[in-house]
């Protein structure tokens, strides 16, 4: 006999026994996939268009379905509406919720929408739309952070700071040059994300459960409406693919790595021991015990929160490994890791405003760049220009540095006679060759810290940043 208890399920016909109540609650995904309502509505409207073109639906029925879907999306757009979705008493997932809502609004016509499709292709489509939208948000936020770094680089002018290797002072560089290093990281991050967006931008609708739709649907109709470049080429792959989630998460791990490196560096530079930057009070907190404290909470939280991104990528890797073709219920578990990193655009927005508010202690940085023999490389280069082999020049300057350390002066504090004790090549022109400006400008190569090279890099940066967001905005809007 027909089991009334199962009648509300999308798959109830074959079953006679009721689900274990605890298992039923445990396996429901509506508690997290409610976030996909905008994508589910968009994909359902696109499927309705394909059904109209195949004469499964009349134009009037298609219009009625589309209007009802829009109404469902509008009704649940607010936080209160979203709560109604995730707390729905009987919907298994977001697909089931939309179907139940359609039937409530327009009766049996709501049941016709599932003609020629499977939840396997629906979730594959919804998730692609969701990830594509998130990529757009992240890239936009990356561009804002890059712009804030460029503005700070402009404001720094010709200010100088030490560069570091092994956390030891290495050579003087322009502050702008150091800031632009993070811009390069951001450009790579955005390129990876845009590559991911381009690869995922194919439409699974029409793939059916695994073998393809049983109706002669024009798959290009849904693909165009949703802003995809084309339908997916293989139904088995389309319904069983979650590569795009894993690729998205791995691309975000690079964003997290670079955010964390920046956060660590600013945290160090804000200490009294460095005193290179002053933390903006709007992004800092105090101590409940020590009245003098100003703590770098934003940068510390960034370092911690990027662990979530790495954890999400590892979780999906383990969830997908070893799965046979095609769809498996295991794939439901890939959704929560994808949703768990939705904080990244906000985090980037905060770090962009934080970056814009940083104050660099230029005098302190300039002093640090002129002590500790940071011009030793320039000094060795001076000898190279005098015809001394570099290895020999390196040894001569190393000996001069040791002598200067024992004397308690910088290289420029040695007399010409003292310098000539290390080699006859030293002359009066040695001293201007190791002055700060010359030490910077001897790095006159593409990507170097010479003043003119950095000015060129700064001039080129805005256009390079603007190019980050050229990924089809129409496609991103389609998944909104």
0.85 cut: is pTM over it?
A: yes
> Tens-of-pLDDT digits for all 480 residues of the chain?
333 333 456 655 666 788 888 888 889 999 999 999 999 999 999 999 999 999 999 999 999 999 999 999 999 999 999 999 999 999 999 999 999 999 999 999 999 999 999 999 999 999 999 999 999 999 999 999 999 999 999 999 999 999 999 999 999 999 999 999 999 999 999 999 999 999 999 999 999 999 999 999 999 999 999 999 999 999 999 999 999 999 999 999 999 999 999 999 999 999 999 999 999 999 999 888 998 999 999 999 999 999 999 999 999 999 999 999 999 999 999 999 999 999 999 999 999 999 999 999 999 999 999 999 999 999 999 999 999 999 999 999 999 999 999 999 999 999 999 999 999 999 999 999 999 999 999 999 999 999 999 999 999 999 999 998 875 454 455 444
- Domain residue extents for the chain: 20-115, 120-365, 369-460
Task: Give me the pLDDT at residue 1, please.
Answer: 30
Report d(CA 92, CA 309) in Å as an integer: 27
Do 120-365 and 20-115 have the same topology in CATH? no
Choose the CATH number for 120-365 among 3.40.50.150, 1.10.3470.10, 2.60.40.10, 1.20.200.10. 1.20.200.10
> How far, CA to CA in Å, does 234 sit from each of 48, 97, 121, 207, 465?
22, 28, 12, 8, 36
The pair of structure tokens assigned to 333 is 């578990």
Report d(CA 348, CA 145) in Å as an integer: 7
Is residue 369 within 8 A of residue 281, CB to CB? The reply is: no
SS (H, E, C) 237-256: HHHHCCHHHHHHHHHHHHHH
* CATH class of the 369-460 domain in this structure: mainly alpha
Question: Does the domain made of 20-115 have the CATH classification 3.40.50.300?
Answer: no
The pair of structure tokens assigned to 108 is 């049996």
Please give the positions annotated as active site: 166, 287
């Amino acid at each position: 006999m027909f089991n009334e208890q199962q009648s509300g399920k999308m798959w109830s016909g074959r079953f006679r026994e009721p689900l274990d109540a605890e298992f039923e609650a445990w396996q429901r995904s509506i508690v997290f996939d409610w976030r996909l309502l905008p994508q589910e509505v968009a994909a359902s409207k696109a499927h309705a268009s394909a059904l109209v073109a195949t004469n499964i639906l009349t134009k009037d029925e298609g219009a009625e379905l589309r209007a009802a879907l829009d109404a469902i999306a509008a009704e649940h757009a607010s936080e209160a509406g979203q709560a109604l979705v995730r707390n729905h008493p009987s919907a298994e997932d977001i697909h089931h919720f939309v179907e139940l809502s359609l039937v409530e609004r327009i009766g049996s016509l709501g049941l016709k929408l599932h003609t020629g499709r499977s939840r396997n292709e629906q979730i594959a489509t919804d998730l692609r739309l969701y990830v594509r939208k998130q990529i757009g948000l992240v890239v936009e936020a990356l561009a804002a952070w890059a712009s804030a770094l460029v503005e700070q680089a402009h404001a720094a002018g010709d200010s100088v700071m030490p560069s570091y290797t092994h956390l030891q002072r290495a050579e003087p560089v322009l502050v702008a040059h150091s800031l632009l290093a993070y811009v390069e990281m951001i450009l790579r991050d955005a390129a990876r994300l845009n590559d991911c967006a381009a690869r995922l931008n194919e439409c699974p609708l029409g793939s059916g459960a695994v073998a393809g739709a049983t109706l002669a649907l024009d798959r290009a109709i849904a693909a165009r409406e949703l802003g995809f470049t084309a339908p997916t080429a293989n139904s088995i792959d389309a319904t069983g693919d979650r590569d795009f989630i894993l690729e998205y998460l791995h691309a975000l791990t690079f964003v997290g790595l670079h955010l964390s490196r920046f956060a660590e560096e600013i945290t160090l530079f804000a200490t009294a021991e460095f005193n290179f930057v002053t933390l903006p009070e709007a992004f800092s907190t105090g101590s409940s015990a020590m009245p003098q404290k100003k703590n770098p909470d934003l940068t510390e939280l960034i370092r911690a929160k990027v662990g979530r991104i790495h954890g999400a990528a590892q979780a999906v890797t383990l969830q997908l490994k070893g799965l046979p073709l095609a769809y498996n219920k295991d794939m439901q578990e890939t959704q929560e890791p994808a949703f768990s990193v939705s904080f990244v655009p906000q985090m980037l927005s905060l770090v962009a405003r934080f970056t814009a508010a940083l104050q660099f202690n230029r005098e302190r940085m300039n002093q640090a760049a002129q002590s500790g023999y940071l011009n030793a490389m320039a000094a060795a280069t001076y000898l190279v220009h005098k015809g001394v082999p570099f290895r020999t020049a390196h040894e001569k300057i190393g000996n001069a540095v040791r002598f200067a350390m024992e004397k308690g002066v910088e290289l420029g504090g040695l007399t010409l006679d003292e310098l000539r004790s290390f080699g006859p090549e030293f002359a009066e022109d040695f001293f201007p060759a190791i002055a700060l400006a010359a030490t910077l400008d001897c790095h006159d190569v593409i990507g170097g810290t010479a003043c003119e090279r950095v000015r060129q890099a700064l001039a080129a940066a805005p256009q390079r940043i603007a190019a980050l967001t050229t990924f089809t905005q129409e496609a991103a809007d389609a998944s909104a």
